[in-house]
Amino acid sequence: MRQADFATPRAMAATPSTAATSAVQSNMRATDATGAGGNFSSVFRQVQGEVARFIEQGGGNATSLSPQGRAYLEQSQPVNVLGSINQGGEIGEVQQQFLASIKPWTEETGARLGVAPEIVAAHAALESGWGQRPLRQGTGTDTNNLFGIKAGGKWQGDVASNVTTEYEAGSGAALKKTERFRSYPDQASAFRDYAQVLLDNPRYRAALNTGADAGAFAQGLARGGYATDPNYATKLTQLATRLQRTAAAD
């Protein structure tokens, strides 16, 4: 995960739901050539559905997927957002400490947004690298900006400039840019501002009141333009689903 890939609304690059990768295209066209898979678009939709169900069920052993599904999953998730969670679903000590430190704010924010607190925690973990890659001021001071929210013209608070990766609309090319981000005095302020951003912007309405449905929340943010990362919704859905399963097992 690159720091601050996600921020307030901007142009979206093509998402995995609308643009197949070259590896998946090759596999599916090979299937079409044998006549076993019908036309290309039909096979692609089947693969999308297969991978979506796999993620909704919390991931796990990808060998249960078809060859096309495994190729799609691999290409659509170039960054392993579950790298800090072992194959047994257990979260490492550093990650547990991060989740414990933000728990009061994830519960408060989840209640305001109408979503499960684990989904809010996953969002913070995804964007901040489990709190290990925080946005910083030029002096090295932590901005407490766990959600990569940019400082637009109406922002009256402190600002920090950081390098971020943006994905160009259409081509999906990754570009490094220096952007201005919001800086907060503490984590509580960061979570409350994050909630207000989502509540105030009608583009994120579909993400609100989605309860424990991590996929619906992630898709609502993605469609609203929260991030330019074409794999954003997939990453957030998978991580949030795993955190929910871990919480249920406790």
The two three-digit tokens of residue 46, written as one number: 């089947």
| SS3 call for 182 | strand
One-letter amino acid of 34: T
Positions marked active-site: 166, 193
Which residue bears the tokens 């609100």?
208
CA distance 28 to 196: 43
**DSSP code, position 90:** P
**Across 52-66, average pLDDT:** 59
pLDDT at 185 (0 to 100): 92
CA distance 143 to 179: 14
Judged against a pLDDT cut of 80, whether residue 247 lies above it is answered with yes
Residues 244 and 89: beta-carbon distance below 8 Å: no
| DSSP one-letter string for 94-123 | HHHHHHHHHHHHHHHHHHHHTB-HHHHHHH
CATH, range 81-135+185-248: 1.10.530.10
pLDDT at 171 (0 to 100): 58
Handedness of CA 139, 145, 148, 154 (dihedral sign): negative
User: How many residues are there in the chain?
Assistant: 250
Judged against a pLDDT cut of 50, whether residue 76 lies above it is answered with no
pLDDT at 181 (0 to 100): 86
CA distance 196 to 183: 15
**Across 174-185, average pLDDT:** 76
Is 56 or 151 the better-scoring residue by pLDDT? 151
Is 32 or 192 the better-scoring residue by pLDDT? 192
**DSSP code, position 152:** -
Judged against a pLDDT cut of 80, whether residue 205 lies above it is answered with yes
Q: How many Cα neighbours within 13 Å face the side chain of 240?
A: 30
CA distance 122 to 243: 7
CA distance 3 to 233: 16
pLDDT at 208 (0 to 100): 98
pLDDT at 238 (0 to 100): 92
List the chain domain ranges.
81-135+185-248
CA distance 244 to 238: 10
Judged against a pLDDT cut of 80, whether residue 230 lies above it is answered with yes
Judged against a pLDDT cut of 60, whether residue 32 lies above it is answered with no
* pLDDT confidence bin for 74, thresholds 50/70/90: low
Q: What is the mean pLDDT of the chain?
A: 74
| SS3 call for 179 | strand
Judged against a pLDDT cut of 70, whether residue 75 lies above it is answered with no
* pLDDT confidence bin for 141, thresholds 50/70/90: confident
**Across 29-52, average pLDDT:** 56
* pLDDT confidence bin for 142, thresholds 50/70/90: confident
Residues 136 and 142: beta-carbon distance below 8 Å: yes
